[in-house]
């Protein structure tokens, strides 16, 4: 008798710590690399997956270097560098506009604590646009995006809602068609782009997703259900390892 295939699995993985994460700066679309700690976080996750015999059939990633480099380290640690990968700008981090590159205390001093809190935690609030004089902060990404005509008119800043909308467009067009029983896919993204996917998979409300935190190097593991939904199987962080498991 043929053996039934296991359900499709999806691993949502936040990139390792970046230089601006370490400095407590709003990173957004700035193309910042990983710290040594960030490399270590991804290597630890890759070692753990390989040790458990967990393979990945395809990886989806944002265009930003901290995600691309995280994929490289992860797959190298898994001894699987040839795993196919797809980069999509819609998985990029939220565009933080005028907050880009500013430290959290610096942003509070410039704009006020209440405004910064609202921009960070509200589902719909949009920060001020990035000034023309500061466009160099995202110049490498802007150049790369010119090769993606589907991007259309690029935002000057985004709310979490707007970020969730573009991520939601990526799901049926790019990710979902690659899912099938027996296959395991990984999405390596950012705090906000992954929050948008978690919102969809776990059917969270606006208030719930606004308060959700996803740590650097964190992995959230999901299995497809017969009714079309998703069951979260595990949350894993490099510093705390398995926080929860639902078997």
Q: Which residues are annotated as a binding site for substrate?
A: 14-21, 27-28, 66, 93-96, 104, 120-121, 191-192
Which residue is it, tokens 């001894």?
79
Residues 6+ apart with CB under 8 A from 184: 8, 9, 10, 11, 54, 55, 56, 57
Catalytic residues: 15, 93
Strand pairing class (9-14; 58-61): unpaired
Report the distance separating Cα 81 and Cα 229, nearest Å: 31
Report the distance separating Cα 220 and Cα 243, nearest Å: 10
Report the distance separating Cα 142 and Cα 98, nearest Å: 16
Q: First CA to last CA across the chain, in angstroms?
A: 26
CB count in 10 Å sphere of residue 210? 17
Copy the structure tokens of residue 97: 């506009």
Residues 6+ apart with CB under 8 A from 3: none
Angle, CA 144 vertex, CA 141 and CA 150 arms, to 5°: 110
- Residues annotated within a binding site: 14-21, 27-28, 66, 93-96, 104, 120-121, 191-192
Q: Phi, psi (5° rounding) for residue 151?
A: -65, -25
C-alpha closest to that of 15 among 60, 69, 54, 57: 69
Q: What 3-state class would DSSP assign to 75?
A: helix
């Amino acid at each position: 008798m043929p053996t039934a295939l296991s359900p499709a699995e999806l691993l949502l993985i936040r990139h390792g710590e970046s230089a601006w994460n370490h400095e407590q700066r709003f990173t957004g679309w700035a193309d910042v690399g990983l710290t040594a700690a960030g490399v270590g976080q991804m290597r630890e996750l890759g070692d753990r997956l390989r040790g458990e015999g967990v393979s990945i059939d395809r990886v989806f990633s944002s265009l930003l270097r901290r995600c691309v480099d995280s994929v490289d380290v992860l797959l190298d640690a898994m001894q699987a560098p040839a795993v196919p990968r797809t980069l999509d700008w819609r998985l990029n981090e939220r565009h933080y506009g005028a907050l880009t590159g500013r430290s959290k205390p610096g942003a509070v001093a410039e704009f006020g604590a209440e405004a910064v809190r609202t921009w960070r935690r509200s589902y719909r609030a949009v920060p001020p646009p990035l000034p023309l004089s500061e466009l160099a902060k995202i110049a490498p990404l802007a150049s790369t995006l010119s090769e993606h005509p589907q991007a259309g008119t690029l935002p000057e800043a985004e709310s979490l809602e707007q970020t969730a909308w573009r991520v939601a467009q990526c799901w049926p067009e790019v990710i979902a068609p690659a899912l099938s029983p027996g296959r395991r896919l990984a999405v390596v993204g950012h705090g906000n782009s992954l929050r948008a996917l978690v919102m969809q998979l776990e059917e969270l409300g606006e208030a719930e997703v606004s308060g959700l935190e996803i740590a650097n190097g964190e992995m959230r593991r999901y299995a497809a259900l017969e009714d079309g939904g998703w069951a979260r199987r595990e949350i894993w962080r490099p510093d705390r390892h398995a926080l929860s498991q639902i078997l």
